[in-house]
């Protein structure tokens, strides 16, 4: 199914907007938009599933307590 959507984009110039929590599915897209609380929190251009999953994990990680100076971590086909 994803290959069919990708083919429609590449051969027909279609635009596909897919909503998913699956980084493997999102990796088929030209651009991935990450939403948090109804707003775009981040974007990635054409990325591998592991990079998408890492960004998803970072965006959903609990926030560090105030004053903590440690390391902080921070789906669309055209």
What pLDDT digit, counting tens, does each position of 25-60 carry? 999 999 999 998 889 999 999 999 999 999 999 998
68 located within any domain: no
43 located within any domain: yes
66 located within any domain: no
What's the structural domain count of the chain? 1
Residue 35 to residue 45: CA distance in whole angstroms: 15
Among left, alpha and beta (phi > 0; psi -120 to 50; other), residue 35 is beta
42 located within any domain: yes
Residue 37 to residue 41: CA distance in whole angstroms: 9
Burial of 6 (0-12, 13-18, 19+ CB in 10 A): middle
Rg (CA), the chain: 15
Q: Three-state DSSP class for 59?
A: helix
State the pLDDT confidence band at 62, using cuts at 50, 70 and 90. Answer: confident
Looking up tokens 């088929």 gives 28
Give me the domain span that covers residue 24: 2-61+73-77
């Amino acid at each position: 199914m994803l290959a069919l959507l990708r083919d429609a984009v590449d051969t027909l110039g279609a635009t596909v907007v897919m909503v998913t929590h699956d980084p493997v599915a999102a990796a088929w897209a030209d651009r991935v938009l990450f939403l948090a609380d109804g707003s775009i929190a981040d974007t990635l251009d054409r990325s591998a599933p592991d990079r998408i999953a890492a960004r998803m994990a970072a965006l959903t990680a609990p926030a560090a307590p105030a004053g903590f100076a440690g390391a902080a971590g921070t789906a669309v086909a055209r």
